[in-house]
Structure 1
């Protein structure tokens, strides 16, 4: 099985990062190196390789691709013994809470913390922490280095879930694969606009947006550049097309897989499906754009279903509590750093548990919490766990001085937190014996 060039680049960055961080060199040396390593884009390497191969005459492309694959595989064999354990694997869970406090005592200075480019393997187990969700590994079926940041996908997940329940024919994974193909989950004022004027993560043209764009999250605006409004518009549009194409099939006017034709209609228009009597064909645009577009979405659906599974229960945006959750899940996969983070964001390359809660609460509400889990326990009022709602703080790892751990409740018995040394910001099931506190 061939190895993608991006895998080698990631492996080299991981190995170099582990070496630099293990030298004990001062931050003046290690910080710039780390920043450079973190800026490496495997997707750029892949694109350069792909562009070079595409520029070759047709008979030379397959041998060139094989040469790249063979070289990458050989490099992987050479590098493998020298990479840190698990360097090309996703981070894994840490031991259960209670083994150690997940933040430094307030009386001690913050120690220097390594910037981890990968997490060491652990023994796993059946503890709640061992069952927690980290940045999910990118499923192998994805095209190399083509996946949007998982933190961004997590923000879309609640609305993908809602839009994927409008009708039976359109599932959350279908919408996710479509949004990856359309605009890579890029949203907000800086989201790219297509050459034809399509805008936002759903790439809506003005006339289509005027028909389907609605204020889905009740924030008083209909925002084509946002998350909620475009995703719900896409869900409604796809469901309308799915029903229409189903009717045309029953009338014998078109033939083919209903979902394939629906996706083709989203790309080329329902009229193109009807005129072709099925999958649009004949026009160069249909052959070179619409058909590959449909194939790309359908082939990545199973992988997106796997990737979305940990996030599909996240609460829908709305209110301060959900804003706190949204701020925290932006940093899924960021390393745990003892004493790291605060109201300004991560520091030293990451967060500890109370650094994450301090940041998320301040970013969402402007409220400045005390810095440690013990002192955050003094803010607000305790509530029964069965009354916890998204944005409430959860406390655990109880010791003589109070709680040694704090997390943010996200709903459905899950929380987002920075667990402990060697781990990363992740979603996990709420630990037993945790207590909830409402702070706003």
Structure 2
């Protein structure tokens, strides 16, 4: 992407990447099965935790199999090494953010994907989703063209130097920076390939519930949102649902902690709506923290059963699946850091 601007500085006219339509994939509960791949179609490892859900989401929302999480991760590593500060992630050419978007290119692809009220190349969610949309479009262009070669390589060249240069060269342009860019990303993809985020063992309703929850990894948190049918917009209640002083829940389709659990167990088990109610319904099957099984419910409280404020599902290996809080997404996290450990109240087995 940086070459595009450098070359344009001495050119008579700027070329611009053509805009192609984007098919937005709508999450549909009827299409979410317990055995769906939960990591966007491929394993992912070696990326900062704050980038992981967005990389998986960006890959999952693209309909071409060539756009894998590992490809996006390798590209981000080459663009910025996952840096997010303005000092570290601003290029000499003026590219901005972890995905290194020039302002005019950002105007085409940037959206407020993280729901914080602004579309910014500095926001990890906004940047990675825009990267995914642009790469998805470029791969489709490469596959639909008469240009031979690996569509991933052609797309990367288009991202770095502009699609017009790829067309003119009928392949990767003879630009050293672009050729190096493509070679490094494709050769380092394996560094970011790994096993799926969740390998849930066992059978039965509890294990299936965790697998079902895992199909929603990367879905935004929405206070009061979500239910048995999937993600829905939430609401603000005067205290919850706000980010940076703005009500974001009413504009965000997602889950809160208890609706994710409700969704995961439905329809085999109809759990009530709130975390406190879910504890009350299942508290007669209390489980020691040392005896947890996949699918057990874990609760955190500010004081007693009346103060329960969070619920998560045990996913095995000391991890939980949870919808943590406003501004975050459905994720896998260690029990010890999912919520303040001092607030841990107990676990139950539905």
TM-score by length of 1: 0.40
- State the structure with more CA Rg: 1
Structure with greater proportional helix content: 1
TM-score when scaled to structure 2?
0.49
